[in-house]
Amino acid sequence: MPKIAITGKGGVGKTTLTALLSYVYAQRGQDVIAIDADPAGNLGLAFGLTAQMDAELKPIAEMESLIYERTGAQPGTIGGWFKLNPKVDDIPESFSLTHRGVRLLRLGTVRGGGAGCLCPENALLKALVTHLLLRKRQTLILDMEAGVEHLGRGTAGAVDAFLIVVEPGLRSLGTAGQIRGLAAEIGVKRIVLVANKVRSAQDEAFVRDQAAGLPLLGSLPFTAAAVAADQGGLAVFDQAPEMLAAAERIADALDTISP
């Protein structure tokens, strides 16, 4: 089952696309896990979780006793001894929330030192992401910030497709170029663009022209319904049928490029 990482500049629509694709795959009968790997993540809201449900979806990085139990060290300790291969296989089922057929998991922020730090919470998150990427029967969609921090050299190859979301503008396309470099460096195989907030054929042509060789997998239209969904705290796939239809086409295109 496909393992897909979604990245791109801030505000381009990564979370929106994660919610749409996860829902599409779940509707197609797949066992889907959507992972919020953005430290400032709000994936739950894009699924229409109420504030109360969203609050129940606690970030793994903030589960101090779990981190201690699994790594043998308190979160926040840098250097010192901790397990680099903690047990994680039960975490996805125990600490996620299933909504609209999709399992949601929130990774949270590693305090101090960022995602690259040598600390127990980071070791746990890395082991968890690696474990999930290697699960054959589950479809995985990773909502990431503009970077590759949660993927190590060892696991990047397990990602079937790396989707960089862009808007029809030079700034997000510039960020896409930078992300592409980082992703290629750690061994990501397929890197493609998805254009979002497309208002016209010219917008799409602009992205193709400026893509610097990155293939354009598909486009999502700009729609007032997506804005309204965010304003109302409602699921984007319920509120914006044109977005859902576009996500169906993107899922079809993904099926043709991922094994």
Ligand X SMILES: Nc1ncnc2c1ncn2[C@@H]1O[C@H](COP(=O)(O)OP(=O)(O)OP(=O)(O)O)[C@@H](O)[C@H]1O
- Interface ranges with ligand X (CB under 6 A): 8, 10-16, 38, 196-197, 220-223, 226-227, 230, 243
| Interaction between residue 71 and Mg ion (CB under 5 A) | no
Sort 137 into a burial class: Cβ within 10 Å, 0-12 / 13-18 / 19+: exposed
Distance CA 211, CA 223 (A): 23
Sort 110 into a burial class: Cβ within 10 Å, 0-12 / 13-18 / 19+: buried
For ligand X, the closer CB: 94 or 202: 202
Nearest distance, CB of residue 256 and Mg ion, angstroms: 26
Distances (CA, A) of 80 to 3, 68, 84, 116, 123: 33, 13, 12, 16, 13
For ligand X, the closer CB: 22 or 71: 22
For ligand X, the closer CB: 16 or 122: 16
Sites for Mg ion among residues 7-26 (CB under 5 A): 14-15
Nearest distance, CB of residue 45 and ligand X, angstroms: 8
User: What tokens does 26 get?
Assistant: 């779940």
# chain residues binding Mg ion, by CB under 5 A: 2
Nearest distance, CB of residue 229 and ligand X, angstroms: 6
Task: Enumerate residues 6+ apart whose C-beta is below 8 A from 120.
Answer: 67, 68, 71, 72, 73, 74, 75, 77, 82
For ligand X, the closer CB: 2 or 221: 221
User: What tokens does 72 get?
Assistant: 């043998």
Distance CA 11, CA 77 (A): 33
Residue nearest to Mg ion (CB): 15
Nearest distance, CB of residue 15 and Mg ion, angstroms: 3
Nearest distance, CB of residue 143 and Mg ion, angstroms: 6
| Interaction between residue 30 and Mg ion (CB under 5 A) | no
Distance CA 142, CA 92 (A): 13
Select from Mg ion, ligand X, none the partner in contact with residue 68, using the beta carbon and a kind-dependent cut-off of 5 to 8 Å: none
For Mg ion, the closer CB: 15 or 219: 15
Angle, helix 120-134 to helix 64-71, in steps of 10 degrees: 80
| Interaction between residue 175 and Mg ion (CB under 5 A) | no
Select from Mg ion, ligand X, none the partner in contact with residue 107, using the beta carbon and a kind-dependent cut-off of 5 to 8 Å: none
What residues make contact with Mg ion under the rule CB under 5 A?
Answer: 14-15
